[in-house]
């Protein structure tokens, strides 16, 4: 097997919940050594269940934790204590990246802010994830995915005018921030090759949520009209929404006139494409209700899954509406290695597929999400801590083998 893309990269991960762990899992999937350092009480999402995985030692971890923490090594450390901070500094000696999502000001209070660390570790890339940043009108306030969805306008465009704003079913702000953070870290690593220096990365849920507002923000900034929820329909394209068939709903996403013409021909209603009301995208948007009525009449005697597959093979983007179990159990999901079994723990695969430096579960290098402090003794030994030092740290409560 070829080396993975990030082999040799050392990451100290102080993050909890989702945005930060999602970021570091991406790095770990592709070879980075990620040491997940949890506070004495552990990462709180270990408790965000059911469902739970019952561990052999009697502990249990929620699926929420399992889904964002594979391929990491785990230990505990009480950073509120000077002895804990001394351990962290010792570990930072060979770290490339430090990630954390403490409330802004916490690391500075402990003497672990970027300005404190940079003189001793000039090559260190310090990535902070917070809700709103350290300054500004909302600086220092806590951020949570759903709250930022509400405040950013994301919820307002997810729903219908009649039903009102709806939180998106997936925590897109947390995961989007994790994705942006991973990209930012890789950019900083690339720049470090030129400058030899690390830098501070200031990632916020607030900024990410606004960055995800496409095309709603672009529409508003050009037209001045406030976007509203459009349900399953696209505000700029038609047909681009859910349609009823004789058995189940399908989604049709016809992005141009050629695709619309193919759609009509395949459904046996080719004349619709020549109707002035549907001649181009702007006309179809203006006459959306009539278009839906006409297309659903042609779909009424069709099997949803069958016609969706036929359409997409004919060049018209379409797909059957599936449940999560159907999607995860599909033959194409299996073909793309998007579900993996790691020692009895099922997890998603990686969407990043390299030709020469693979990082997916098929490499045989992936490891299950760790239990609390699972690798603590070996990690500390790797950093030169003696058994007596470890025993003293545990006696003082600086490290723990079980959650507080």
The residues that are catalytic are 174
CB atoms within 10 A of CB 5: 18
Q: Which residues, listed in sequence order, are joined to residue 196 by a DSSP beta bridge?
A: none
CB 33, CB 96: distance < 8 Å: no
Beta-bridge partners for 378: none
**Bridging pattern class, strands 200-204 and 125-130:** parallel
Residue 251 and residue 268: Cα distance in Å, rounded? 18
| 10-13, strands of its sheet edge to edge | 73-76, 33-38, 10-13, 97-100, 125-130, 200-204
CA distance linking residue 143 with residue 126, whole number of Å = 20
User: CA-CA distances (angstroms) from residue 110 to 32, 36, 77, 102, 349?
Assistant: 27, 19, 14, 11, 37
The residues with which 153 forms a beta bridge, in sequence order, are none
Q: What are phi and psi of 13, to 5 degrees?
A: -110, 110
| 282: CB partners within 8 A, 6+ apart | none
287's tokens: 């006459």
Shortest CA distance to 367 belongs to which of 69, 58, 2?
69
From residue 129, alpha-carbon distances to 60, 141, 261, 309 in Å are 27, 12, 47, 41
Cα separation, 140 vs 260, whole angstroms: 50
């Amino acid at each position: 097997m070829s080396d993975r893309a990030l082999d040799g990269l050392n990451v100290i991960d102080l993050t909890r919940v989702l945005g930060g762990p999602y970021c570091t899992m991406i790095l770990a999937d592709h070879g980075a050594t990620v040491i997940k350092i949890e506070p004495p009480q552990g990462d709180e999402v270990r408790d965000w269940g059911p469902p739970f995985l019952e561990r052999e030692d009697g502990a249990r971890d929620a699926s929420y934790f399992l889904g964002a923490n594979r391929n990491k090594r785990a230990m505990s450390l009480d950073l509120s204590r000077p002895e804990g901070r001394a351990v962290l500094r010792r570990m930072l000696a060979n770290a490339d990246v430090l990630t954390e999502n403490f409330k802004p000001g916490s690391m500075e209070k402990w003497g672990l802010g970027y300005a404190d660390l940079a003189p001793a570790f000039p090559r260190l890339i310090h990535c902070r994830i917070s809700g709103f940043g350290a300054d500004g009108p909302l600086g220092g306030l806590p951020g949570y995915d759903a709250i930022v969805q509400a405040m950013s306008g994301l919820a307002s465009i997810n729903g219908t005018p009649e039903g009102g704003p709806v939180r998106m079913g997936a925590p897109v702000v947390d995961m989007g921030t994790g994705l942006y953070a991973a990209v930012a870290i890789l950019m900083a690593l690339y720049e470090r090759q030129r400058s030899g220096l690390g830098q501070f990365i200031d990632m916020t849920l607030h900024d990410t949520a606004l960055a995800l507002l496409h095309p709603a923000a672009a529409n508003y900034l050009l037209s001045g009209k406030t976007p509203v929820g459009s349900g399953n329909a696209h505000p700029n394209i038609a047909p681009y929404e859910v349609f009823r068939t004789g058995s189940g709903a399908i989604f049709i996403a016809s992005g141009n006139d050629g695709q619309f013409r193919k759609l009509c021909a395949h459904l046996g209603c080719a004349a619709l494409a020549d109707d002035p009301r549907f001649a181009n995208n702007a006309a179809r948007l203006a006459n959306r209700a009539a278009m839906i009525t006409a297309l659903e009449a042609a779909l009424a005697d069709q099997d949803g899954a069958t016609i969706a597959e036929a359409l997409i093979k004919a060049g018209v983007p379409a797909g059957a509406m599936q449940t999560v179990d159907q999607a995860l159990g599909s033959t194409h999901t299996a073909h793309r290695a998007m579900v993996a079994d790691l020692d009895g723990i099922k997890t998603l695969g990686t969407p990043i597929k390299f030709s020469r430096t693979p990082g997916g579960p098929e490499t045989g290098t992936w490891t299950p999400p760790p239990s609390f402090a699972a690798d603590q003794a070996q990690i500390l030994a790797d950093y030169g801590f003696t058994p007596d030092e470890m025993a003293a740290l545990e006696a003082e409560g600086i490290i723990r083998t079980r959650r507080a």
